[in-house]
């Protein structure tokens, strides 16, 4: 099972709609660690570390998000040699 860390930047209506909390719930279901945090420009940054297949699933879910959210763009960046955190946090 290959492990990876991917950073995503999500653009759209993703702040003030429980996006970070819902992302955390989805990550925990898939055994993914990392974080979701609001950025000053209105985007949400998500770090996802775990099994490649599970990270891929969560990356797809970011387009959907929770009810009320509307992601218009998701940018993914694979991080080489990134230290995976022990848990999933929201900021």
Q: Which residues lie below 8 Å from residue 25, measured CB to CB, with a gap of 6+?
A: none
Q: Which two tokens stand for residue 60?
A: 């797809």
Q: Is residue 20 annotated as a catalytic residue, yes or no?
A: yes
Q: Is residue 38 annotated as a catalytic residue, yes or no?
A: yes
Exactly one of 20, 21, 30, 43 is catalytic; which is it? 20
Exactly one of 7, 21, 30, 38 is catalytic; which is it? 38
Catalytic residue positions, numbered? 20, 38
């Amino acid at each position: 099972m290959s492990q990876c860390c991917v950073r995503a930047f999500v653009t759209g209506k993703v702040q003030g709609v429980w996006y970070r909390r819902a992302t955390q719930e989805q990550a925990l279901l898939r055994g993914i660690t990392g974080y979701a945090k609001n950025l000053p420009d209105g985007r949400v940054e998500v770090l996802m570390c775990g099994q490649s297949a599970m990270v891929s699933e969560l990356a797809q879910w970011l387009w959907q998000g929770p009810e009320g959210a509307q992601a218009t763009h998701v940018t993914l960046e694979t991080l080489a040699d990134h230290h995976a955190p022990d848990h999933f946090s929201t900021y």
